[in-house]
Amino acid sequence: MASTSSTVPFYGSIREEDEHNQMKQQQSASTPTSSTAAPQTTAPVKKKRNLPGNPNPDAEVIALSPKTLMATNRFICEVCNKGFQREQNLQLHRRGHNLPWKLRQKTTKEVQRRVYVCPESTCVHHDPSRALGDLTGIKKHFCRKHGEKKWKCDKCSKRYAVQSDLKAHSKTCGTREYRCDCGTLFSRRDSFITHRAFCDALAQESARIPTGLSTIGSHLFGNSSMALGLSQENSQITSLQDQSHQSSNILRLGGGSGSGSHFDPLISSSNPSPFRPPQPPPSSAFFLGGGSNQDFDEETRSHHSLLQNKPFHGLMQLPDLQSRTTASSSAAAANLFNLNFFSNSSSTSSINTSNITSNQNNHLMISDQFSSGNGSTESTTLFSGNFMSDHMAAGMPSLFNTSMRNESSLPQMSATALLQKAAQMGSTTSGGSSLLQGFSSASPSGAKNTSFQAIFGGGSNGSGDVLRFQMENETRLQHLMNSLANGNAGLFGGSGGVAAFGGNCTTGGHEQEAGGFGGFNSGLCNMDEARFQHNISSAGSLGGSDRLTRDFLGVGNMVRSMGGGVSQREQHHGIDMSSMDPEMKSGSSSQSFDGGTL
Amino acid sequence: MGGMVQDEGSSSVTSSPLQSFSLMSLSPAAQLMSPPVTWLRELKSDERGLYLIHLLLNCANHVAAGKLEHANACLEHISLLAAPDGDTMQRIASHFTDALARRVLRSWPGLYRALHPPSAAAASRLPPEALLARRHFFDLCPFVRLAFLVSNQAILEAMEGERVVHVVDLGGAASDAAQWAALLQALRARPEGPPHLRLTVVHDQKEFLDVAAMRLSEEAERLDIPFQFHPVLARLENVDVEMLRVKTGEALAISSVLQLHTILAADDDPAVAGHQRKTPSPFTKNSNNVQLHRIAQMSHRGTLGELLEKDPVNGYSPSPDSATSSPLASAPSPKTESFLASLWGLSPKIMTVAEQESNHNGPMLTERFTEALNFYAALFDCLESTAPRMSVERARVEKMLFGEEIKNIITCEGAERRERHEKLEKWVQRLELAGFGRVPLSYFATLQARRLLQGYGCEGYKVREEKGCLFICWQDRPLFSVSAWRFKRFE
């Protein structure tokens, strides 16, 4: 008989020896084995592969009863009835009772190889020629194939007969994935298949398109190609507007059909000169920051279609604005202002340089009349994100482009956002609108914080906080403005940048102040001043003031709810920025802002 | 005042139209004037949207207060701004004004009947357009699909190991054989093999039942699942549990997708519920004029804020709706209770309930109006995010599905008002009162729902799990809920 070591490879099991010994012990102890050793057939010669189930022909074949196989504690202590799986353990236990005990010594005697057959007569392993080489193996086999599946996975409710199988499964449950064509992921193959059935069922539903509208039945189950058709349309629109994947938001742009679509060509015709050719230093810096030409183009386009109704006044003004800038006004810079300008222009019916004042006037009137002094105007707040996002896009290379573009590509407020806004207007006036309160409460707050940090860069974290604090307190405005101005000056080294942001802050502060006082005149005057001082940058400052106002009101929530997950991402960026090293931050951003805001 | 408004609106170029808008909001008198067309047309989308909301809320208040002339002025304004094919708010406005106008018209039953002959309305079968709209809704928005998926998963899990399964579909407009085709497939894939399946579908259209029977029988045959289809041609409120023919020994699953709320209407039926309220005279569905006059005594001024704050019909509740404030016990709904109790009596192993997560069953019109405005605004936003404005399908969903529901919520009263959506918290109360115990949706069901949404490709839809129930949200607003229940013995 082959030695243990030589047989191990045959059975591919190292437990062999242990089981073997134990089995031997068991038999010698005459533990019941109902169907005793099967006829000692020398196993057939078919020994092609040494797989489990092809035992060594010389091995002793043992058949155990199902009961024996399933038994867990076969060695019972006669004193306390405690059961043990192994004889050795029982013997050790007996010592505690002061019973005679005997640990089996390592036998030097050559051991007989044993193999085990499955008691299930229909099973392939019932045949001695397919006997399994170890006792644990046959136990598990019997449980798995012929036993009850007692162990259930909590996560996916798959059942196992052997506990260790469940343990193994639970380690991987939920980690492996199957992906359906519809994009759904599955951890388990069978649930994947189940889903496929469901998915296919739906697909089949969809495939049954009725040819006519003759019977109700056909309507019921037919005609679902809509989704397909729609998505195609959507994708077209998407590609039209933007190559990015932010379809849902951009779709809305496309949804603007009438206005949205006819702007594109117009814009591209009026824009090319500033945008297409690579520009001299300032603008090229901008472009570098913003990514590729094309990239930027997309972005602007989305902006344009964003401001559906009146962007052209703004566009017309481009030359004006440019001529007014003292420094070499790069096209990119102009564009930046343009965008800001647009974002502002959304509140006014028409815009020209002289009109900026009236624009502000409108703000005044509205905020004055609308809701006592929170200085919010519906539409000005709408696109207030743009300013920030533009700068971000300029300053932060392609990294942030998508998210930025995404946010800024919200063409208009969703109905939900409008309702929220209406509720806020109502609540500020009356202090507690019963009608819309449930609705407005749904909006989380948090956007404002972020936007501030984003605007003023990480360079002045502190000032951002101060700002917010101040805003909330509505006091010590002077301090607020100072800190803001300081922060910005430090941040954006370029003169243009300072001008723009300085104006930005002051006006913002004033507007806020005005809001706080309910009267708007002083705010107006100051804003005008600021604007006239930095003539072109006033466009930027308006945008800025809008945003400040908005954030002060907490209306930023709206944007967030509109953007959904997107703005969430954006928040992160904002935070990232602010968490960067201030010095580095100011360095990099001032550079890009120079290019951008000059 | 009013003249000034118009002057400023039309003459000064530099001032924004919004200025006049704001003035108007301060002076309700201005709304009685003919609308200043010029500046209204110049409003930008968002300004227009806000203005529309303002007008709509005003109008609803006027209608509720019975100030028909004011309401008329509002409607006139809105008609200049709203458009069923415009931006989201324009679309919403056009459907809500339709509903409001109908409601006003209902105070003159003669006029209303003449314009809307009952023969057309009485036909219980839905027009094919409505069925198509359902279909499109199913395709365009994931809500119903998710409800099916999660319900099926809960049923599947509850029926694990069962050999004889009886599924009762309480039917309704959102009912769809697709759900059961999917369940058949899932049952086929069970490790223990498919059970004997008996499917009872309650529906008020014979065509629907015929088609479903044919299609599902085919499917079951193809999958080699022993299958019986048992149609119950009736409206849910007329269903007696005897008709469901539940047998002892079979494992029962009950599924309701956007249907259970319709039984709430039965309690409003004067024949059933009587006039147990403080209403001095029996209010039937066509006696709204009485109530309108009554409410008309309420004074009214109209800044937006006041409108939002004020509750002009306070303390007046003409029908046994479940007011948000009053506890369930004080709003007796015998029919609902007995129906749920009879379902409980069938001792179902699982009952899945998908409902709209919004309270459209308030007694006050203004309350319902605002709730509905918010709820449907979110739904319109969903469509806006998926379908182009010119889409026929989208228009159909908006008109034939949302529009009809809005009309029902706003226009109808009494037993006719069937779209009595209520929030899950209400259903939890009701179902627990009826003896049902909540079955938390499984991890896997939630996971599947999430993944379906992931694959849906549209950001904005979310799934939120709360106390074992599932909310399907648009952005952060829950729009639909799915919960699972089972028979629980009273201690």
**B394 in any annotated domain:** no
B100 and B245 inside one domain: no
Chain A, 543-582: which have a CB under 8 Å from a chain B CB?
561, 564-566
Report the pLDDT value the prediction gives residue B108, as an integer from 0 to 100: 86
Substitution target in B41, B308, B423, B454 with the highest count of A β-carbons within 10 Å is B308
**B314 in any annotated domain:** yes
Count of positions (residues) in chain A: 598
**B235 in any annotated domain:** yes
User: B478 vs chain A: nearest CA distance in angstroms?
Assistant: 10
B207 and B151 inside one domain: yes
More confident residue, A203 or B205: B205
Quick one: which of B219, B343, B372 has its CA closest to A221?
B219
Q: How confident is the model at residue B156 (pLDDT cuts 50, 70, 90)?
A: very high
**B217 in any annotated domain:** yes
Report the pLDDT value the prediction gives residue A488, as an integer from 0 to 100: 39
Q: Do B138 and A436 touch (CB under 8 A)?
A: no
Is B388 an interface residue toward A (CB < 8 Å)? Answer: yes
Q: Which of A190, A217, A432 sits opposite B189 (nearest CB)?
A: A190
Report the pLDDT value the prediction gives residue A109, as an integer from 0 to 100: 57
Contacts of A61 (CB under 8 A, 6+ apart): A37, A38, A39, A40, A41, A43, A55, A114, A115, A116, A117, A128, A131
Reported as a single tens digit per residue, the pLDDT across B7-66 is 333 333 333 344 344 434 434 444 444 445 566 666 677 788 888 898 899 899 999 998
Reported as a single tens digit per residue, the pLDDT across B345-390 is 999 999 999 999 999 998 899 999 999 999 999 999 999 988 888 9
For residue B26, count CB atoms less than 10 angstroms from its CB and return exposed for 0-12, middle for 13-18, buried for 19 or more: middle
List the domain range (segments joined by +) for residue B191.
128-265+331-357+421-487
Q: Do B304 and A425 touch (CB under 8 A)?
A: yes
Is A365 an interface residue toward B (CB < 8 Å)? Answer: yes
B308 and B168 inside one domain: no
User: What is the mean pLDDT of the segment spanning A187-216?
Assistant: 50
Indicate if the pLDDT at residue A68 is higher than 70: yes
More confident residue, B139 or A310: B139
Indicate if the pLDDT at residue A362 is higher than 60: no
B48 and B164 inside one domain: no
Reported as a single tens digit per residue, the pLDDT across B259-294 is 999 999 887 765 444 444 333 333 333 334 434 343
Indicate if the pLDDT at residue A293 is higher than 50: no
Report the pLDDT value the prediction gives residue B209, as an integer from 0 to 100: 92
Report the pLDDT value the prediction gives residue A143, as an integer from 0 to 100: 87
B81 and B163 inside one domain: no
Q: Which of B135, B304, B308 sits opposite A434 (nearest CB)?
A: B308
The mean pLDDT value of chain A amounts to 48
**B95 in any annotated domain:** yes
**B397 in any annotated domain:** no
Is A432 an interface residue toward B (CB < 8 Å)? Answer: yes
B24 and B157 inside one domain: no
Report the pLDDT value the prediction gives residue B96, as an integer from 0 to 100: 94
Report the pLDDT value the prediction gives residue B123, as an integer from 0 to 100: 53
**B411 in any annotated domain:** no
User: A119 vs chain B: nearest CA distance in angstroms?
Assistant: 23
Residue pointed to by tokens 């806004």: A421
B369 and B474 inside one domain: no
Reported as a single tens digit per residue, the pLDDT across A328-350 is 333 333 333 333 333 333 333 33
Question: How many CB atoms sit inside 10 A of residue B23's CB?
Answer: 19
User: A185 vs chain B: nearest CA distance in angstroms?
Assistant: 6
User: What is the mean pLDDT of the segment spanning B426-430?
Assistant: 93
B152 and B56 inside one domain: no
Report the pLDDT value the prediction gives residue B179, as an integer from 0 to 100: 94
Q: What percent of chain B has pLDDT over 90?
A: 44
User: What is the mean pLDDT of the segment spanning B118-145?
Assistant: 78
| DSSP string computed for B304-351 | HHHHHH--TTTT---S----SSS-GGGS--HHHHHHHHHHHHT--SEE
For residue B465, what is the domain's CATH number?
3.40.50.150
Report the pLDDT value the prediction gives residue B481, as an integer from 0 to 100: 95
ipTM entry? 0.71
Most confident region among A46-50, A445-449, B19-23 by mean pLDDT? A46-50
Report the pLDDT value the prediction gives residue A162, as an integer from 0 to 100: 87
Is B10 an interface residue toward A (CB < 8 Å)? Answer: no
Label the pairing between strands A159-160 and A151-152.
antiparallel
Is A419 an interface residue toward B (CB < 8 Å)? Answer: yes
Reported as a single tens digit per residue, the pLDDT across B166-178 is 999 998 888 889 9
Q: Which of B44, B92, B210 sits opposite A346 (nearest CB)?
A: B44
Label the pairing between strands A178-179 and A185-186.
antiparallel
Give the chain A residue whose CA is nearest to the CA of B92: A415
Q: Which of B89, B215, B389 sits opposite A418 (nearest CB)?
A: B89
The amino acid at residue A15 is R
Q: Do B140 and A370 touch (CB under 8 A)?
A: no
Indicate if the pLDDT at residue A311 is higher than 50: no
B314 and B337 inside one domain: no
Q: How many CA atoms lie within 13 A of B349 on its CB side?
A: 20
The mean pLDDT value of chain B amounts to 79
Q: What percent of chain A has pLDDT over 70?
A: 21
The size of the A-B interface in CB pairs under 8 A is 291
Q: Do B455 and A182 touch (CB under 8 A)?
A: yes
CB contacts, 8 Å: A230 with chain B: 139-140, 386-388, 391, 393
User: B441 vs chain A: nearest CA distance in angstroms?
Assistant: 12
Q: Helix crossing, A477-491 with A582-597: angle to 10°?
A: 80
Q: Which of A183, A371, A377 sits opposite B454 (nearest CB)?
A: A183
Q: Helix crossing, A293-306 with A398-408: angle to 10°?
A: 10
Indicate if the pLDDT at residue B95 is higher than 90: yes
User: A507 vs chain B: nearest CA distance in angstroms?
Assistant: 21
Q: Do B178 and A190 touch (CB under 8 A)?
A: no
Substitution target in B8, B10, B22 with the highest count of A β-carbons within 10 Å is B22
Chain B, 92-111: which have a CB under 8 Å from a chain A CB?
92
Reported as a single tens digit per residue, the pLDDT across A3-23 is 333 333 333 333 434 444 444
B340 and B241 inside one domain: yes
Most confident region among A251-265, A273-287, B131-145 by mean pLDDT? B131-145
Is A161 an interface residue toward B (CB < 8 Å)? Answer: no
Domain count, chain B: 2
Report the pLDDT value the prediction gives residue A243, as an integer from 0 to 100: 39
Is B189 an interface residue toward A (CB < 8 Å)? Answer: yes
Give the chain A residue whose CA is nearest to the CA of B305: A426
Reported as a single tens digit per residue, the pLDDT across A369-378 is 333 333 333 3
Indicate if the pLDDT at residue A221 is higher than 80: no
The amino acid at residue A135 is L
B351 and B472 inside one domain: yes
User: B432 vs chain A: nearest CA distance in angstroms?
Assistant: 25
Indicate if the pLDDT at residue B141 is higher than 80: yes
Residue pointed to by tokens 């984003």: A454
B139 and B30 inside one domain: no
Q: Do A426 and B373 touch (CB under 8 A)?
A: no
| DSSP string computed for A93-150 | HHHHTT----PPPPP-SPPPPEEEE-S-TTSGGGSGGG-BS-HHHHHHHHHHHHS---
Substitution target in A226, A237, A402, A445 with the highest count of B β-carbons within 10 Å is A226
Q: Which of B215, B444, B456 sits opposite A221 (nearest CB)?
A: B215
Give the chain A residue whose CA is nearest to the CA of B61: A435
Report the pLDDT value the prediction gives residue B128, as an integer from 0 to 100: 78
DSSP, collapsed to helix, strand or coil, labels residue B466 as strand
Report the pLDDT value the prediction gives residue B353, as an integer from 0 to 100: 96
**B254 in any annotated domain:** yes
Q: Which of B176, B373, B384 sits opposite A419 (nearest CB)?
A: B373
Terminal-to-terminal C-alpha distance of chain B: 69
Report the pLDDT value the prediction gives residue B231, as an integer from 0 to 100: 94
